[in-house]
Structure 1
Amino acid sequence: MITLERRTFVMDAVKTQTAQRKITKAEDHFGKLTPRMSRLRDSIIDAKPYVDAERAILTTEAYQAHQNEQVDVLRADMLAHILKHMTIFIEPDTLIAGNQARQNKWAPVYPEYSMNWVIDELDTFEKRPGDVFYITEETKQQLRDIAPFWKNNTLEDRGYAAFPPKSKLFYDLGVIGADGNITSGDGHIAVNYETVINKGLVWYEKRVQTAMDALDLTDYNEQKKLYFYQASLTVIAAVKNFAHRYAELARKEAQTATPERATDFIKMADILDKVPYQPASTMREAVQAIWMIHLVLQIESNGHSVSYGRLDQYLNPFYQRDLEAGLIDRDGATELITNLCLKTLTINKLRSWQHTEFSAGSPLYQNITIGGQTPDGQDAVNDLSYVILRAIAQAHLPQPNLTVRYHQGLSQNFMRECIAVIKEGLGMPAFNNDEIIIPSFIARGVKKEDAYNYSAIGCVETAVPGKWGYRCTGMSFINYPRTLLIIMNGGIDPESGKRLLPDYGKFTDMTNYKQLFDAWDKGLREMTRQSVIIENTCDMVLEQGYPDILCSTLTDDCIGRGKTIKEGGAVYDFISGLQVGIANLADSLAAIKKLVFEEHKLTTEQLWHALQTDFVGEEGERIRQMLLTDAPKYGNDDDYVDDLIHDAYEPYVDEISKYKNTRYGRGPIGGLRYAGTSSISANVGQGHSTLATPDGRHARTPLAEGCSPEHAMDVEGPTAVFKSVSKLPTKDITGGVLLNQKMSPQILRTPESCDKLIALLRTFFNRLHGYHVQYNIVDRNTLIAAQKDPASYRDLIVRVAGYSAFFVGLSKETQDDIIARTEQSL
């Protein structure tokens, strides 16, 4: 058993003052962190993110030893080997145990998914403009030593080789982004935590054994199930033994601890001997079981957006029983949830720089959902919902994500508590709207009781926890503005000069807007078709070689079907890609229609030349200013532009619905696709490869984020933004309609102004049928000051897209993009 040397982190005076200022803001209303949680928080925030080779070494050992096995068994043996031999430790102040890497916030390497970029970037991790990772020379050599085994033997190698040649061109040029899909695991899921804490892994073990005993192995399809069942039993035993390792360590630590801490260690050991294998009896046992499963899922695979589901619903019975028995009080429950949040922040993920540009701020998108309704339509807010809000405010962290399910019956008191958390500048909670999401799910075949039990997964996307397959969103990214430029150029990408689409007519030869729209309709449909081919390829190679056994075991009804999730084991399986630059497309189409084809202020040749030269010179700038100021802009409740983007989105919505995913007809309800607007931070990365656009945007600069308006173009206030967004085909964009809004903290300084915001939210959700909104409560001057003096703002948090991040860890380009967002008023 290896334990790491305990280290005490000493903050400098400036950091101490800054941290205290941040935490003090929440104290008056939400109370303050307990001393041990405060110490744990400081140690985690101050921990430097290093690259950790341990998992990579253990994975290589397992693959070398078990290459002859069926893939399910191989993956299970890999996980068992890692859990048996990886370094474990227990922090001095934690109440729950479990670590992902050799130190908190160190990032493991997952060589089975990709090693090419890891080796290529070994010497640049510390030189990144954002999302910096440190790495020792020893770690570099360890990774170089195992790299030969993985040559042409990773998911990325197999996925890239499997792309059809034409589709590969779209991928290579970055017009359709899917880097994360062939360099990482899947994620984007919430498993059945409720069953785990109420029945334990022993229940799953018995169910698997019963199913395995009933197999007729003369039937080929039944024989295939055998390997999944064998693998499931292996990972269940591995998790049980992993928990027991921590129990042994806790008892060892108790021998040298203070009397008070020794009592904690002994209690921790007793809990870990029990859960998650056996059912939990207390809230602390349940939280430990939840964390252990959540942790192992992210050791098994580095797919992000592994989420907790409706934590307040399935954990509240334990809280209530403990309250009645006198085992816990509100402060104790708050400390436990805070501890869970702090442990969540210790998870880290190393991405290639190309992938990092789509996920700036090292997010893992681990989402907690609270609120919403019960299956009979009653308000589901309970005592634990308030405790979770309190814990989130006290912890003051960018992870986990917090989402509140809004519905018309949500009380004013609970809404005020949500706004009080938003005022703390966390960028959360975000709000998802039951009034549109539940009917959308039911219309797609989701059972009513399941639709009412949906949760946020990752960012803004939604699914039924424990019953939904991977990637309810987050498949490929289509760059809408670049697609428009390709179509305007007769199907040739102006950036690379390569033909990607058929020639539907060059813009310079067009005489009316209908010709452009018809070309857009045809071109976007072909782009959509190519995205489906790329997505299917990614799913195919993941299914062939990289099943996640524990995740599948804990997702209904993989055991019943004897299939992993990728084979069709989940009850529901709907997915969506993401569409980037919606506002840029809207404003571009409005500028072209009005200034070129209606008012004839510009010729097609003048505009195209200005775009190709990035508005160079006096004439170019004159044209750019005309594009910026003389055409309607999305986000201002102007039907002229809002109707254009609605119509331009429809070809994608219609086309994507025609294509099935790789699990269609293999068991799950659905197996279909729909739209989604959660661009994460891809608006920055995809902006790099996009030339100047007809909305007046310069080449290489960020695109608009999510479905939010372009910076400084939404000048009519937040109500107008809500109205514009509501005109999108929201009911068909089941993958999520992500809207970011930014306000100065001064706007919410009085109870009256907070109530005004609540009234605005109710109008957006009740009358305009909005899907989602989230708020950045930070002023421009603070962000600029943080750029100049990052040490004084080490825990300044901003909402990047559908997630929050520490501002100072972002690249300057992403920081500038956030600074430039419009600050709304009430």
Structure 2
Amino acid sequence: MKKYYDSEIAKSSRIPKLIEHLYAKLPVIEADRAVILTRVYKETENEPIIMRRAKAFRAICEELPITIRPDELIVGSNSKAPRGCQVFPEYSFEWLEREFDTVATRSADPFEIAEDTKQKLHEVYQYWKGKTTSELASSYMEQETLTAMEHNIFTPGNYFYNGIGHLTVQYEKVLAIGYKGIIKEAKEALKQLSITDGDYAKRARFLEAVIITSKAAIKYARRYAELAMNMAQECKDRTRKKELITIAQNCANVPEYGATSFYEACQSFWFVQLLLQTESSGHSISPGRFDQYMYPYYKKDLDAGIITREFAQELMDCIWVKLNDLNKVRDAGSAEGFAGYSLFQNLIAGGQDEEGNDVTNDLSFMCIEASMHVMLPAPSLSVRVWNGTPDEFLMKAATLTRTGIGLPAYYNDEVIIPALVNRGVLLADARTYNIIGCVEPQKAGKTDGWHDAAFFNMLRPLEMVFSNGYENGEKVGLQTGDVSLMKSFEEFYDAYKKQMNYFIELMVNAINAIDLAHAQRCPLPYQSSMIEDCIGRGKSIQEGGAVYNFTGPQGFGIANMTDALWAIKVLVFDEKKLTLSEYKKALENNFGKGMPKKKAELITTEIVKEIVKAGNPVSESQIADIFKMICDNYISETDRKKYEQLLEWIDELPKYGNDIEEVDLFARDVAYTYTKPLEKYKNPRGGQYQAGLYPVSANVPLGAQTGATPDGRFANTPIADGVGPASGRDNKGPTATANSVAKLDHFIASNGTLFNQKFHPSALSGVKGLQNFTSLIRGFFDEKGMHMQFNVVSKDTLLDAQAHPENYKNLVVRVAGYSALFTTLSRSLQDDIINRTTQGF
């Protein structure tokens, strides 16, 4: 019997070499996929879209360049360059063509792009004009919706410009029966159809597309088997030669057939993960409960003496490295919001089985160990916690947290399971949930959740209340009345709710338009083959083939909105220290800190127009000087002093995040202005809308597009992160902050909530530090909080890393629902992390 734990194979130095190779150079944009896809689309103009997609995927699997990187044990890459990426013109392309000359030098997530690649993509893009999902989606949207998007009330960019992700497929099914088994299942379903059925043609073509894409995946793996064998024949190093022969054998077996060993299961898993990202550019393709579906293969090999725990760990470490090899390029604006090259591949350990028994196992611990070994952002490791979670497992997770890598994130079974059941998910399915992307719960292999369907900025409707629905002379929101005439806080709060409801409706219109566009132009047969019950229903996941269909846009800004509305209630209506008109003027003048950026830009543009109209040239430096002059000289000294007084009054008010019952319960009500209205809406796939409360890292770039707010937040500065308090506003310690956050209704926010905390490393030192830390988690979860995640790093370290990035190339931090290398983040996002409150016990 072959043993994979040969000491010559299990090299302890392998992982550092793989990581060094991975990060040696800047990521590269490649054109191969786009060229192949476009050629096939031209050849299949008159065929059904599902067949065009299947045939394009087949060609990509057969022709995309393949490579085996040095020292790899798990193989498969969709780019020649490490951390390189392909592009997906079927979704959108204009933004990349506009950014050809800036994508390598931009502040967030830069990519190299060769001149010949630019030329190839330029030629490809000629075909795609008028044919993308984004263009079709736009044509379905109402003008009011497009206006709201232009004014950054909400942004549905994830699926507007990219493919469908945010799901976990049936990895366990591929491991068990392989694509040979899925082909058999599709053929049997095809036999059950009658040509007289009204939907026969559509269902038959879909099933044929599943067969084509499954065979394509098999062909792709065989290409790697052939490449590995050819490399083995030429290899002079005896140890590497043996490794390559084993790799060739694995790729010849999986994923065509079911895996027969843990090593084969690891390779099969990786091919699935890789090809999902090759078919579509959707991110947050999450491995899910890796410790559960991989465990039978590990246990069988371990008991039979085929593998050692050490080599199994090395294979997992190799997968962890490979998850960082996958990449995608985003437009400059989105790159700011998702900075750190993240694909949000969430892998979760621990939790319960269908009957409610704890299923923490050896692989659960090894998942944590793998993250400790590689110390990289991916996978976005998470752990499930409930009252049956072993203390040993939670302490192991806390030990990883103490490293400062920002992993794992912690999730509460006691909230998530009933929240999913409330949405119609069967109890057995809810008990076996996993997390998608940042913080979104769903049942793996059965759900199309459309998580992250849009980012909704809860502060922008408040701006519309003050402006009576207008911005820069354009009608954007509802006309809810002149604030100077409002007689009570209830009247003001009601106006805010009306603006919220209006913009939520427009957001739903935008998302549903994008949803329809994907179903019509970019169904995904390969992805659908691994989601129940697409084969049974004979339709792709984009057409409603999944068992559970949701749409989950997220709102953010709860802390700012709570503190802002509380300040208006107390200062204007309770204590009558100023009027709403005076508050409005203070906001317009940015509390005396200069004119808000948007207004200054508008005035600058008008002045420059007049100068040019008079026949005088204006240089870039002169425009900058005009802008600065307007900002600096707009506000009188008298008004500045008034605004300083107002800021002092605001500062003295109680704030969300300090365990103050009255304020925290008000925050709960503020959150309801977003979470409750969403529940009544349906998506084109027949599913329900559900709210999430988290910003990823969009609170920074979208904050830069938002004016001053009544809580004392200055214009164009970050909005509060997640459901936690605004930076610096929590001053009573981590437990008080956790108690405040727990008072929100996390059950209704079934698309996920995000609670960030930052600790000084000394807080988690020693056994006592870890015990205090795990007690905080259990206490927060007992109070019915949903999620917690942590940065454990000193402010001094972050400031030094910002000043001397060359000394901190491996510093990983928690950004939002993901971790990233600190030095790859934009300056504004780095500042946001630095400014978060540092806690201690």
Q: Same fold (TM over 0.5)?
A: yes
One of 146, 157, 173 as aligned partner of 1:168: 146
Match of 1:228 among 189, 206, 214: 206
The residue number in structure 2 matching 1:774 is 789
Q: Pick one of 436, 444, 450 that aligns with 1:457.
A: 436
Give TM-score scaled by structure 1 length: 0.94
Q: Distance in 2 between matches of 1:469 and 1:259?
A: 47
SS in 2 for 1:615: helix
Name the counterpart of 1:319: 298
* Structure 1 residue runs of 4 or more that deviate by more than 3 Å after TM superposition: none
**Cα offsets for 1:548-584 (capped at 9, x unmatched):** 1111110001000001112111011122111021111
Letter in 1 for 2:470: I
Return the match for 2:189 from 211, 217, 240: 211
Number of the residue aligned with 1:553? 529
Indicate if the aligned counterparts of 2:519 and 2:543 stay in contact, CA closer than 8 A. yes
2:682 to 660, 664, 668: 660
For the residues of structure 1 that align with 2:650 and 2:11, how far apart are their CA atoms? Answer: 48
Consecutive unaligned residues of structure 2, counting only runs of 5 or more, are: 1-9, 593-636
| Stretch of structure 1 that moved more, 228-237 or 719-728 | 719-728
1:267 to 2:228 alignment: no
CA offset at residue 470 of structure 1?
3.9
Q: How does 1:527-676 map to 2 (within 5 A)?
A: 527-616=503-592, 618-619=640-641, 621-623=643-645, 625-626=647-648, 628-664=650-686, 671-676=687-692
Distance 1:624 1:135 in 2: 50
- 8 Å CA contact 1:235, 1:549 repeated in 2: yes
Q: Distance in 1 between matches of 2:129 and 2:820?
A: 34
- What secondary structure does 2:664 align onto? helix
Q: Could you list the runs of 5+ residues in structure 1 that have no partner in the other structure?
A: 1-31, 665-670
Partner of 2:801: 786
Question: How much has 1:506 moved relative to structure 2?
Answer: 2.6
Segment of structure 1 superposing worse, 600-609 or 183-192:
600-609
Provide Cα deviations, 1:357-381, integer angstroms capped at 9, x if missing partner: 2211121000111000122222110
Distance of 1:395 and 1:232 partners within structure 2: 36
Which residue in the other structure is 2:452 paired with? 474
Q: Alpha-carbon deviation of 1:301?
A: 0.2
Aligned to 1:158: 136
The residue type paired with residue 509 of structure 2 is I
How do 1:95-494 residues align onto structure 2 when only pairs under 5 Å count?
Answer: 95-257=73-235, 258-471=237-450, 473-493=451-471
Q: Distance between the aligned counterparts of 2:365 and 2:799, measured in 1? A: 34
CA offset digits 1:712-757 (Å, max 9, x no partner): 0011111111111111121100011100110111211111011011
What amino acid is the match of 1:101? S
Distance 1:490 1:623 in 2: 26
Which amino acid counterpart does residue 609 of structure 1 have in structure 2? K
Letter in 2 for 1:641: V
Using the TM superposition, give the Cα deviation of residue 621 of structure 1 relative to its aligned residue in structure 2, in angstroms.
4.1
- Secondary structure at the aligned position of 2:731 is classed as coil
How many angstroms does 1:788 deviate by? Answer: 1.1
Q: Distance in 2 between matches of 1:512 and 1:296?
A: 58
Does residue 493 of structure 2 align to residue 517 of structure 1?
A: yes
Task: Identify which range, 63-72 or 808-817, moves more after superposition.
Answer: 63-72
> Does structure 2 conserve the Cα–Cα contact (< 8 Å) formed by 1:37 and 1:94?
no
**SS of residue paired to 2:591:** coil
Q: Distance in 2 between matches of 1:527 and 1:641?
A: 26
Q: Is the 8 A contact 2:449 2:552 kept in 1?
A: no
**Cα distance, 1:217 vs. partner?**
1.8
2: CA distance, partners of 1:818 / 1:309: 27
Q: CA deviation at 1:627?
A: 5.2
Contact 2:65 2:78 in 1 (8 A): no
Distance 2:646 2:29 in 1: 45
Structure 1 letter corresponding to 2:392: N
Q: Contact 2:459/2:709 (CA < 8 Å) preserved in 1?
A: yes
Distance 1:286 1:470 in 2: 27
The Cα shift of 1:43 comes to: 0.9
1:703 correspondence with 2:719: yes
The answer to whether the 8 A contact 1:588-1:693 is kept is: yes
Out of 2, 5, 24, the position equivalent to 1:46 is 24
Alpha-carbon distance in 1 for matches of 2:356, 2:579:
56
Distance 1:776 1:624 in 2: 33
Shift of 1:163: 1.4
Counterpart Cα distance in 1 of 2:828 and 2:150? 23
TM-fit CA distance, 1:620 = 5.3
Is the partner of 2:717 in helix, strand or coil?
coil
SS in 1 for 2:469: coil
Task: Quote the Cα distance in structure 2 between the aligned partners of 1:707 and 1:781.
Answer: 25
- C-alpha contact (below 8 Å) 1:711/1:822 kept by paired residues: yes
- Mapped contact 2:132–2:521 kept (Cα < 8 A): no
SS state of the match for residue 373, structure 1? coil
Question: Is the 1:501–1:523 Cα contact (8 Å) retained in structure 2?
Answer: yes
Distance 2:781 2:111 in 1: 41
**Corresponding letter in the other structure for 2:220:** F
Q: Aligned partners of 2:642 and 2:164: how far apart in 1?
A: 45
> Is structure 2 residue 826 aligned with structure 1 residue 811?
yes
C-alpha displacement at 1:464, in angstroms?
A: 0.6
Distance in structure 1 (CA, Å) of the matches to 2:125 and 2:421: 48
Amino acid across the alignment from 2:45: Q
* Cα distance in 2, alignment partners of residues 156 and 422 from structure 1: 40
Q: Deviations over 1:187-226 (max 9, x none)?
A: 0000000111011111111110011122112223122101
Query: Residue 108 of structure 2 contacts residue 332 of structure 2 at CA under 8 Å; is this kept in 1?
Result: no
Deviation at 1:482, TM superposition (A): 1.2
Give 1:406 deviation, angstroms. Answer: 0.6
Structure 2 equivalent of residue 822 of structure 1 = 837
Following superposition, the deviation at residue 498 of structure 1 comes to 2.1
Q: 1:533, 1:809 → 2: CA distance?
A: 35
How far apart, CA to CA, are the structure 1 residues paired with 2:357 and 2:191? 42
1:488: Cα distance to partner?
A: 2.5
- Structure 1 stretch 711-720 or stretch 518-527: which is displaced more? 518-527
The answer as to whether partners of 1:348 and 1:364 remain within 8 angstroms in 2 is yes
Per-residue CA shift, 1:291-343, capped at 9, x if unaligned? 00110000000100001010001101111111111121121111111100100
> Equivalent residue of 1:734, what SS?
coil
Q: 2:289 is aligned with what amino acid?
A: R
The one-letter code sitting in structure 1 at the alignment partner of 2:555 is Q
Distance in 2, matches of 1:660 and 1:334, equals: 44
Give the structure 2 partner of residue 500 of structure 1: 476
Q: What is the match of residue 684 of structure 1? A: 700
Q: Is the 8 A contact 2:442 2:449 kept in 1?
A: no
**Which residue type is aligned with residue 502 of structure 2?**
E
1:798 aligns to 2:774 (yes or no): no
RMSD: 1.3
The aligned amino acid for 1:769 is: K
Q: Which amino acid aligns with 1:587?
A: D
CA shift, 1:628, in A, is 4.1
May I ask how many residue pairs the two structures share in their alignment?
785
Task: Please give the alpha-carbon distance, in whole angstroms, between the structure 2 residues aligned to 1:91 and 1:134.
Answer: 20
Secondary structure of the residue that 2:403 maps to in structure 1?
coil
**Which whole-Å CA distance do the structure 1 matches of 2:396 and 2:56 have between them?**
45
Q: Distance between the aligned counterparts of 1:674 and 1:161, measured in 2? A: 25
In structure 1, what residue type is equivalent to 2:661?
Answer: D
Counterpart residue identity of residue 82, structure 2: N
Q: CA deviation at 1:159?
A: 1.7
The answer to whether structure 1 residue 739 and structure 2 residue 755 are counterparts is yes
Structure 1 stretch displaced more, 423-432 or 39-48: 39-48
- Separation (CA, whole Å) in 1 of partners of 2:645 and 2:204: 67
Using the TM superposition, give the Cα deviation of residue 623 of structure 1 relative to its aligned residue in structure 2, in angstroms.
Answer: 4.3
- Structure 1 stretch displaced more, 170-179 or 300-309: 170-179
What is the percent sequence identity of the aligned residues? 37
Q: Is the 8 A contact 1:567 1:663 kept in 2?
A: yes
Normalising by structure 2, report the TM-score.
Answer: 0.92
